[in-house]
Structure 1
């Protein structure tokens, strides 16, 4: 038997290329559960794996796709049976192991989560790794005291995948959301998601010498990192927290410890890759409850596997808005 997959190969000159091919089932990696994949998504890591690799891909040929949703075909684990709907995010699938850009995948049973009630496989991938990460960030902020009415919550990189879902969730929960974007054309989109204030990226891009500025934000979901995160830390209210989920603006943090020492600011690291199963299930249950599904559809850009090489290059340049949902059977 064979299946269709988007396979990335690497030439002798180090250049990579991606194309849709027929692949033999015997080439699937080891695992207890075989899944008929229905949908996947496009994330920043996928852009790296489709192109330069970014140090994520261990060997070629490779099938990217760090998340997927579909139906169990075969299982030797009692937790899953043929016909079960499942979701996978993280666990380095699509990086160290073949991922979701295929009509079939084989993975460890521990990596799968039952499809949350009320969600279709397409909706689950409209959420995907980005939305799952956004939910983890919101939960972390709540665990550190964030409540509706505390004040404005900042979302950086708001027009991207994580930022879009974070904006919609926070607004649904009753927070005042300030959305940061470098794309003025995204203002209407972010307002529809629930943002009450649009903050131009340039307002936070400049590094200042003062370690503290006026106390402005009651919380923050930061998908940018780098100099912007350093700037935001100095604007947080006393005892407020920043949930750090990305590094589109760089991995270095040119900050001081002053916001932590004088204002009790918390910097919370959010990891969605190795997140424990119990936390995953809790986050997916919250997604089903707290993410407005009508707004979810407005974030979606549909795509097929053949579209992914170009979209992967675009996401690395910040050129993708919202969520790309990949129908692997299209």
Structure 2
């Protein structure tokens, strides 16, 4: 972010204070020669100064504004990470939660969230909603398809979770689910003593709150953000059509390199029912994957009816790929 933004008189005083440089705790870093730290706010925030200043306008030590939608709008515009704030987030009583691991598949209590989107104020209202091709009634853990996902196949592109785990030769301990919706992949893995972090935004519904209510680990981050993990840490990365990132091959390429970075050598990348739209898009994705030299343990191209309700049959790719050991 340019220094000029920080002198702009329209900015909230809290934002100006946050952007000030701060001295390093021990004075000077002998390795880098740096003597101060600069707060990390995405450079794209400069293009949304009005929204960012609105986000940073609040009463210090008072309740935070009910502006999660504003924060998410900033993130989707590339203003990420957001500035920290000195206000108190609204406290929602956690009523009706179940102890872990029962929480994974029990209906989530209605008083755990206050959601005004789609005319809903509770999770019960969201059960029958179609929120995209990967989330049709995905908040219904009892009567919907969620309790069958990954353990019952509806097409040749649906891989069973135990079959995929067997390919890892017992070495699957921690995983990352990209665009994990209501957290069912993480729940299946938790049933098998595998820890999974589920990345999801609150697009159209309170996915983060729901994932947390199930006793799972939600990560609120967009796919344009460098994943906040060290290199070579995950045994498995799972992704579906959330990987599409707007259909641009360059954006997908950046994303694939970051997935490769966080996946350990010998780890598995599970591409689950990725909608290819057409043969050309399938070829682009195939060529990109092959550049990384992954071993194809499973590779299935087929057709699947769009579960979001269009009735159209689309080409989908499902694959389990193993990252090679690269010698520098």
TM-score after normalising by structure 2: 0.35
What's the TM-score once normalised by structure 1's chain length?
0.35
CA radius of gyration, larger in: 2
Higher relative contact order (CA 8 A, sep 6+): 1
